Amino acid sequence: MQNQKLGFEESLGREVVNSGRCIGCATCVVVCPFNCLEYQKEQPELVKACEKCGICPKVCPRYDWSQSSVEEFVFGKKRDAKEDYGIYRRTIVAQATDKKILQRCQDGGVVTSLLIHALQNDLIEGAAISGLSTDEPLHPMPIMATIPEEVLKHAGTRYAYSPNILALQEGVRQKKKSLAFVGTPCQIHAIRKIQMFPLKKYSNPLQFTIGLMCTESFTYDGLFEQHLQKNMEIPLKNVVKMNIKGKIQVYLKSGKVESIPLSEAKQYARASCHLCGDFSAELADISAGGLGLSGWTFVILRTRRGEEIFDDASKAGVLQVRSAEEEPFAQSLLVKLSKRKRRNAQEK
């Protein structure tokens, strides 16, 4: 299968998109050298005859996926059965020291701090992140951030899907030589396949990846338009932040906090998320999650590169750090959610 040059229709079209497995990560759209695909309604759509070059099936995270081969590629070894949340070097709990970051970020502001530090110290020229759409409130939009102010502006989590690979494409278009990538675990899978292929145009500038722990993401028309706006009668423009801590918390401009039980929100989870077995971004250089903590980010340093980036930022004083041992609840939640997600995906 791997040596044949397959076209889109007989590979991704049939086995990923039509079978409901497509995540909507947009990787196939980005890599097609003939611009045969367009990204429409969170899916790839063939807009002209496929040249059957065989590239898109090589990079799709939902096609011909081998966890152990990717682990070998990233870490030089396969995971031990006891490594419940993947291979790593260290776990820590950290928080930004900059108050401006703490005011805007989701948890401890580690992701934003690392990116700003990397930009300010010329480790990167840009970061592929997610921002907010200017037209639709709370709708995420991939952004290539090239200055610290942009990274700060777009701190925080959007719970609908943001295909940040499109932002990576923008960075390459702008001929940036050094880039960071932030994304959900499924997007880190796509990045690793791009690096393994390798598609040098995209893999060469990449300096490091930050994966966001992820149970699921939600449809915009379901959770936001239907539930929040119609059922709960909350105008989306009045929402300043959302977070998930046992339930979905919705922070309003008025200062009020509404909540949605997770059992109610689950119906709006994107269908392809039910097939996903990676909670903690097991293949990222650095993984970051909230794990029930308040004002702190739980961080997993997985690769040497990830550890270097984090230590550099923490030595420069942009982060304060505590031992993950001080947070046994977060640690056990990490194990529980990782095992549960992998088991659920295997059962599907």
Ligand X SMILES: Cc1cc2nc3c(=O)[nH]c(=O)nc-3n(C[C@H](O)[C@H](O)[C@H](O)COP(=O)(O)OP(=O)(O)OC[C@H]3O[C@@H](n4cnc5c(N)ncnc54)[C@H](O)[C@@H]3O)c2cc1C
Instruction: Considering the complex, state which of residue 50 and residue 180 has its C-beta at the smaller distance from ligand X.
Output: 180
Binding of ligand SF4 by 92 (CB under 6 A): no
Closest CA to 338 of 129, 91, 157, 106: 91
The Cα 312–Cα 196 span in angstroms is 27
The Cα 179–Cα 129 span in angstroms is 11
The Cα 206–Cα 100 span in angstroms is 27
Binding of ligand SF4 by 8 (CB under 6 A): yes
Instruction: Considering the complex, state which of residue 56 and residue 273 has its C-beta at the smaller distance from ligand X.
Output: 273
Angle, in degrees to the nearest 10, between helices 165-173 and 185-196? 50
Binding of ligand SF4 by 87 (CB under 6 A): no
Which of ligand X, ligand SF4, none interacts with 239 (beta carbon under 5 to 8 A by kind)?
A: none
Q: Which of 156, 185, 205, 289 binds ligand SF4 (CB under 6 A)?
A: 185
Binding of ligand SF4 by 30 (CB under 6 A): no
Q: Which of 10, 38, 41, 44 binds ligand SF4 (CB under 6 A)?
A: 44
Binding of ligand SF4 by 286 (CB under 6 A): no
Instruction: Considering the complex, state which of residue 112 and residue 303 has its C-beta at the smaller distance from ligand X.
Output: 112
The Cα 211–Cα 283 span in angstroms is 8
Which pair of structure tokens corresponds to residue 324? 């993950």
Whole-number minimum distance, CB 142 to ligand X, in Å? Answer: 8
Instruction: Considering the complex, state which of residue 37 and residue 319 has its C-beta at the smaller distance from ligand SF4.
Output: 37
Instruction: Considering the complex, state which of residue 224 and residue 314 has its C-beta at the smaller distance from ligand SF4.
Output: 224
With CB atoms as reference, the residue minimizing the distance to ligand SF4 is 276
Where do contacts with ligand X occur on this chain (CB under 6 A)? 105-112, 129-130, 140, 154-159, 162, 164, 182-184, 212-215, 217, 244, 288-291, 297
Which of ligand X, ligand SF4, none interacts with 182 (beta carbon under 5 to 8 A by kind)?
A: ligand X
Which of ligand SF4, ligand X, none interacts with 126 (beta carbon under 5 to 8 A by kind)?
A: none
Which pair of structure tokens corresponds to residue 323? 């031992």
Binding of ligand SF4 by 311 (CB under 6 A): no
Cα distances from 28 to residues 31, 102, 141, 211, in angstroms, run 5, 36, 18, 20
Closest CA to 241 of 96, 102, 63, 94: 102
Which pair of structure tokens corresponds to residue 230? 């119609």
Closest CA to 186 of 61, 70, 67: 61
Binding residues for ligand SF4, per CB under 6 A?
7-8, 12, 16-17, 22-28, 32, 34, 36-37, 44, 50-56, 60-62, 161, 184-186, 214, 216-217, 270, 272-273, 276, 278
